């Protein structure tokens, strides 16, 4: 039931993302978002089907590959919205290093058949760090901007909140089985709420530049 609710918010965000093609001066990273969300939706539908069939190993492998793609995509998005050329280079090389570490983890450490909690936790930290730098640049601007109408603000806000909260959860995933029962029982609800906030932030990012014309009475 929780996964179904999550899929609904992904669908809403995907439909909202289609509106960017009717908006002027849309950045490339925004134009790529509908394809990313469509892929996310497909992955979630496949994983739901596999969950019904109880193919847990296959689901884990699927999420391992998709989480890698997800982190790399988010790093690309944030790299596009930051201004410093040096910071852009650092994010680019960090993405390559992260890809290498994930491959090594696939092959030699946690293997691909188990959830790669170590590299997932590292990915969370990287996204949080890059988002913090984005906000640092934002508050260093010499001129004022309307944050409400900035898609990058909503995207980075959603990513920062989601990964700040999910890091301690996924980072310690291997130990949750031994943790308090209350944590185990509410794990799915917590992740659902985090995803609802994340995709709601994405939805606002896609719609925030649309101007509503007031009718003359």
State pLDDT tens for residues 162-213. Answer: 999 888 876 665 555 555 555 556 777 888 899 999 999 999 999 998 875 5
Residue 54 belongs to some domain of the structure: yes
Q: Could you list the residue range(s) of the whole structural domain that residue 109 is in?
A: 2-207
pLDDT top residue among 56 and 132: 132
Handedness of CA 101, 102, 107, 110 (dihedral sign): positive
Residue 168 belongs to some domain of the structure: yes
% the chain with pLDDT above 90: 58
Q: Name which of 30-39, 51-60, 65-74 the model is least confident about.
A: 51-60
**DSSP-H helix ranges across the chain:** 2-17, 28-52, 56-81, 85-108, 117-139, 151-171, 181-207
User: What is the pLDDT, as a whole number, of residue 175?
Assistant: 57
Contact 210, 21 (CB under 8 A): no
Residue 217 belongs to some domain of the structure: no
Contact 51, 3 (CB under 8 A): yes
Residue 213 belongs to some domain of the structure: no
Domain count, the chain: 1
**Eight-class DSSP state of 208:** T
pLDDT, mean over the chain? 87
């Amino acid at each position: 039931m929780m996964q179904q609710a999550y899929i609904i918010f992904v669908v809403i965000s995907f439909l909202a993302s289609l509106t960017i093609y009717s908006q002027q001066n849309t950045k490339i990273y925004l134009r790529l978002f509908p394809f990313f969300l469509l892929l996310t939706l497909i992955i979630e539908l496949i994983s739901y089907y596999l969950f019904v069939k109880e193919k847990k190993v296959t689901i884990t492998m699927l999420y391992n590959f998709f989480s890698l793609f997800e982190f790399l995509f988010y790093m690309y998005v944030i790299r596009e919205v930051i201004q410093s050329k040096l910071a852009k280079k650092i994010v680019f090389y960090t993405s390559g290093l992260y890809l290498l570490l994930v491959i090594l983890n696939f092959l030699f450490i946690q293997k691909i058949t188990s959830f790669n909690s170590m590299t997932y936790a590292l990915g969370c930290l990287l996204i949080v760090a890059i988002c913090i730098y984005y906000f640092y640049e934002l508050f260093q601007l010499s001129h004022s901007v309307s944050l409400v109408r900035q898609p990058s603000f909503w995207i980075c806000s959603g990513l920062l909140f989601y990964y700040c909260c999910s890091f301690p959860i996924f980072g310690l995933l291997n130990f949750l089985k031994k943790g308090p029962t209350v944590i185990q029982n509410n794990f799915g609800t917590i992740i659902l709420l985090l995803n609802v906030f994340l995709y709601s932030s994405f939805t606002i990012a896609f719609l925030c530049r649309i101007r509503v014309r007031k009718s003359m009475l």
